């Protein structure tokens, strides 16, 4: 579909900082329908790294689905601020750069900070994967 636009809602979770971690992602079409869901354990890491790894997984999935543009709806203020150039972190720089590299695949993108309540599906997916990791 020409001009395909997808929305990515992603979340990372960890038990401890660092600790066992997981990601959850929902990719939605232009009508808000989920066209892909991702949830998986990612080993031991920090919450911020898990947030980035979730976003990267969502960007990779959107590219596979043929998106030309993406709207990122994230509840991580840190990532939103970093991607908008308002905050820098030496520790997260490699993940920041990986994210920018993936964003360049799209003709356009937007980044929006949303409250956690608006990201509950991605959050639930990350928690589901995390529960499986701790069982």
Q: Closest by alpha carbon to 13, among 51, 62, 44, 39?
A: 51
pLDDT at 133: 55
Instruction: Supply the pTM of this predicted model.
Output: 0.94
Where residue 31 sits, what CATH number does that domain have? 3.30.420.10
Q: Which domain holds residue 24?
A: 5-134
Give pLDDT tens digits along the chain (135 positions). Answer: 446 999 999 999 999 989 999 999 999 999 999 999 999 999 999 999 999 999 999 999 999 999 999 999 999 999 999 999 999 999 999 999 999 999 999 999 999 999 999 999 999 999 999 987 555
pLDDT at 1: 42
Domain count, the chain: 1
Measured over the CA atoms of residue 9, residue 34, residue 5 and residue 64, the dihedral's sign is: positive
């Amino acid at each position: 579909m020409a001009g395909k636009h997808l929305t990515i809602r992603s979340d990372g979770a960890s038990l401890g900082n660092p600790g066992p971690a997981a990601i959850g992602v929902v990719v939605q079409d232009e009508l808000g329908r989920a066209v892909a869901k991702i949830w998986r354990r990612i080993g031991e890491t920090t919450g911020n790294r898990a947030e980035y790894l979730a976003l990267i997984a969502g960007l990779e999935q959107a590219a596979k689905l043929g998106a030309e543009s993406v709207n990122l709806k994230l509840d991580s203020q840190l990532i939103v601020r970093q991607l908008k150039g308002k905050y820098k972190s030496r520790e997260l720089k490699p993940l920041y750069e990986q994210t920018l590299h993936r964003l360049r695949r799209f003709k356009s993108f937007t980044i929006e900070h949303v409250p956690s309540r608006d990201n509950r599906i991605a959050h639930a997916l990350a928690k589901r994967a995390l529960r499986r990791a701790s069982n």
